Amino acid sequence: MSDINEIQRRTDKKISDALSALMSNAKWRKLLTEIDGKAFGLKWKFVNSDEIYTAQVPVLLEKTFGDCLPYPYGPYREIEWLLIPMEYSHPNSDEYRPLANKRNNLQFIRNVIDCLGQYPVELSGEGLKIIGYKWL
């Protein structure tokens, strides 16, 4: 069995072990389309990785991302959660020109999400987290 098939088998197994799946492809696509350009510094967690990725809303295909970060051609069903942080790094900041962090308007973004329907959103000191799966 190839490494890719083994990774997919493990990912499918982990997803099947979830207590509940809270988001569908259609819900993720609808949400991501609406928050694109309204939320910045997004943090992504996928079920098949322990890493947390920072990237804007990528190109959206019907059931997967396009060939871009944070997860080239990754299926929406593999998003464990998405965090819209309260603060994020200024996009023009670098080691030679450090700039103050910027803030997302979480209340505005929460209102946008609430207008879409019922979404599994948790508010914390970090920001708004949209939950894809609940685990045991």
Residue 2 has pLDDT above 80, yes or no: no
In angstroms, the CA 51 to CA 2 distance is 23
Residue 63 has pLDDT above 80, yes or no: yes
129 is written with which tokens? 């987290």
- Given a contact cutoff of 8 angstroms between Cβ atoms, the answer to whether 77 and 116 are in contact is no
* pLDDT at 17 (0 to 100): 81
* pLDDT at 51 (0 to 100): 95
Predicted confidence (pLDDT) per residue in 19-54, tens digit: 889 999 999 999 999 999 999 999 999 998 999 999
36: which residues sit within 8 A by CB, 6+ positions away?
56, 57
- 41: phi then psi, degrees, rounded to nearest 5: 70, 30
DSSP string, 18-86: -SEE---HHHHHHHHHHHTTT--S-EEEETT-S-EEE-----B-SSBB-S-TTSTT-BGGGEEEEEEES
Predicted confidence (pLDDT) per residue in 87-126, tens digit: 999 989 999 999 999 999 999 999 999 999 999 999 999 9
Residue 11 has pLDDT above 90, yes or no: no
The whole-model pTM stands at: 0.90
* pLDDT at 1 (0 to 100): 56
58 is written with which tokens? 């990528």
- Given a contact cutoff of 8 angstroms between Cβ atoms, the answer to whether 102 and 90 are in contact is yes
Sheet hosting strand 127-131, strand order edge to edge: 52-54, 43-46, 79-85, 127-131, 121-123
